């Protein structure tokens, strides 16, 4: 069996020492993805389901890399991760999706790899999906509330404003959690955040995105740097017909809204510096 040598890097830092992996490794895909004699598969809904193979170590952290051209998006996952859907967010074309397992130190081992062809009629459809790290389903209280708030709304703008106002009037920032040493594989819990009305910016942005997606409004969770925020931050971009993608910062706005102060909910996106979006 032929082997290949893998070096995994993120933001210029070496994450994996050279390791030998089977060149023929392949990744399980969604039921809609059909096998292809050359190892390709096709996605028509903007996401791919990744399953951890049985031979993987149950104690080791996992990492998924989704690559499109030179763009690479990494997802660090806990050892408990068994399966999840990941977005193919760079539009139609070819993606390579690779699953890695943490081996200790700075080393990761490749478990599986697959090439996927994405064919979407609506390029924003991926931003309506439940994916890592924005997991939601129709049984969640957060999603039921989103439907309740917007059932009379007549436009995406109205839906967005109703959900934004509801969350901004209630959400409080969890400073203790922000100061804690969160694991690199930390993923927001949309339902827990909604029920507690408390969390960090990552939690708030995931919850807002999930609620918007559930009522048909395309929404992104974005991470990077924002004006007037001195540390790594998370916010949202929402697609509004006629305006395109607009920037919203629920975490920043919430204390002002609760204090009865006027706040501009539609931000100047040029002042934000995104480093990753989901």
Domain finish residue from 67, 87, 122: 122
208 and 116 housed in the same domain: no
Give the pLDDT confidence score for residue 184 in this predicted structure. Answer: 84
> Which domain-ending residue is among 122, 152, 171?
122
The predicted model gives 237-252 an average pLDDT of 96
Q: 171 and 113, same structural domain?
A: no
**Residues 164, 118: one domain?**
no
pLDDT in tens, 54-104: 989 999 999 999 999 999 999 999 999 999 999 999 989 999 999 999 998
Q: Is residue 7 part of a domain?
A: no
The residues facing 267 across adjacent strands are 247
Are 157 and 87 part of one and the same domain?
no
Identify whether 20 is part of a domain. Answer: no
User: Do 145 and 243 fall into the same domain?
Assistant: yes
* Domain-embedded: residue 261: yes
Task: Give the model's confidence band at 106: pLDDT under 50 very low, under 70 low, under 90 confident, else very high.
Answer: confident
Q: What is the pLDDT of residues 257-277, one digit of tens each?
A: 999 999 999 999 999 999 999
Q: In terms of domains, do 111 and 148 share one?
A: no
Domain of residue 154: give its range.
141-277
CATH code for the domain in which residue 51 is found:
2.60.40.10
Query: 159 and 104 in one domain?
Result: no
β-bridge pairing 198-199 and 62-68: unpaired
Q: What is the mean pLDDT of residues 103-121?
A: 91
Domain co-membership, 104 together with 147: no
Please count the structural domains in the chain. Answer: 2
In a domain, 23, yes or no: no
| Element holding 142 (H helix, E strand) | helix 141-150
């Amino acid at each position: 069996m032929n082997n290949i040598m893998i070096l995994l890097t993120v933001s210029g830092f070496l994450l994996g020492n050279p390791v030998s992996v089977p060149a023929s490794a392949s990744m399980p895909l969604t039921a809609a993805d059909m096998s292809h004699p050359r190892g390709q598969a096709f996605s028509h809904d903007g996401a791919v389901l990744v399953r951890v193979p049985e031979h993987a170590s149950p104690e080791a952290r996992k990492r998924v890399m989704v690559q499109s051209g030179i763009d690479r998006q990494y997802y660090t996952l806990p050892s408990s991760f068994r399966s999840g859907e990941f977005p193919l967010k760079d539009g139609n074309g070819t993606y390579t999706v690779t699953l890695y397992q943490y081996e200790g130190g700075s080393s990761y081992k490749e478990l599986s790899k697959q090439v996927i062809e994405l064919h979407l009629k609506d390029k924003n459809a991926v931003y309506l999906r439940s994916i890592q790290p924005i997991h939601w389903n129709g049984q969640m209280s957060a999603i039921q509330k989103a439907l309740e708030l917007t059932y009379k709304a007549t436009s995406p703008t109205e839906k967005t404003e109703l959900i934004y106002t509801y969350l901004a009037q209630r959400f409080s920032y969890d400073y203790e959690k922000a100061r804690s040493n969160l694991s690199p594989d930390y993923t927001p819990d949309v339902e827990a955040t909604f029920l507690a009305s408390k969390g960090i910016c990552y939690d708030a942005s995931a919850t807002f995105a999930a609620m918007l997606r559930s009522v048909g409004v395309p929404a992104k969770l974005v991470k990077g740097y924002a004006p007037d925020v001195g540390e790594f931050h998370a916010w949202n971009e929402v697609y509004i017909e006629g305006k395109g993608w607009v920037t919203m910062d629920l975490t920043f706005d919430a204390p002002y809204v609760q204090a009865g102060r006027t706040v501009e909910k539609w931000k100047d996106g040029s002042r934000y510096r995104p480093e990753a979006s989901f």
